[in-house]
Amino acid sequence: MENLLTVPKAVIAATIFVIQNAGPCFMRGLPIVIAMGVVTFINYLTNASFAIAGQVIEAFLYAIFAVAWHRYSLLPAEREKRGFALSFGLREIKFGALIVVVSVASFLIVSMLVEVLPDTAAIIVAFVLVILASAMLAFFYPAIALDQPIDGGLFVQEGLTLIFSFILGALLAMMIFVVPMGAAALLAGLIAAGFGSTTTIVLAIGIVNVIASVIIIAITVSTASFLYRDVIGLKETHPA
């Protein structure tokens, strides 16, 4: 029973943590989400001419925020730092590279599933594979961000042990994420009703989507951080 609740507990703890640390979260997250939006907009203007390059850039932008927030979530010293909290170094390069590799592998697998299976079956199989991949990769990302030793065998073993807990955690996360997305949609609707112009409506939707995106990404990252701490455990390290 304890294993079954491990991931849901981490999701709840992460949600509370992000709410309690909303200021630092937005200071780190807003620049990254806005930058990702700019990349997407540029790609739109160029008729997706740089779609692949844009996706790679977005992966490394995400890595910049994720590494910073992993460290903020678990390392007290990071919370005491003042000034600009984002950086781009070896941690972020490793983190982003792993995202790119996993994304390419996922695209190839999904493409193959769509070719050989009916649509409904492909969706079900893809969902199962996403849960399995999430369970196996959940500890790699925080290990990179926190300068922890990479023990692939242990990470995969522990992740697969928690596979049913990951399913419960995913369902809980979807319910939690509905709240900020619903609030974002309601706020955008109220702003649109108050002003009425098309430009204002688009701007309102963009702003609230950015805010919701930061919250969702931060909860996801903190969840992985707390899982690593509770399941694997942090070790003293001396990174170069």
The 10s digit of each residue's pLDDT in 204-233 is 666 767 777 888 889 999 999 999 999 998
Sequence-ordered list of residues with C-beta below 8 angstroms from that of 39, at least 6 positions apart, any chain: 54, 57, 58, 61
Place of tokens 């943590």: 17
Residue 237 in domain = no
Which is higher by pLDDT, 161 or 213?
161
Residue 112 in domain = yes
pLDDT confidence tier of residue 147, bands split at 50, 70 and 90? very high
CB 99 within 8 A of CB 63: yes
Mean pLDDT computed over every residue of the chain: 83
Residue 62 has pLDDT above 60, yes or no: yes
Q: Which domain holds residue 212?
A: 2-232
CA distance 224 to 233: 12
Residue type, 99: I
Residue 221 in domain = yes
Residue 143 has pLDDT above 90, yes or no: yes
Residue 182 has pLDDT above 90, yes or no: no
The model's pTM is 0.83
Residue 117 in domain = yes
Residue 239 in domain = no
Residue 238 in domain = no
In total, how many domains does the chain have?
A: 1
CB 69 within 8 A of CB 28: yes
Residue 240 in domain = no
In 3-state terms, what secondary structure has residue 51?
A: helix
Q: Which of 48-57, 92-101, 163-172 shows the highest mean pLDDT? A: 92-101
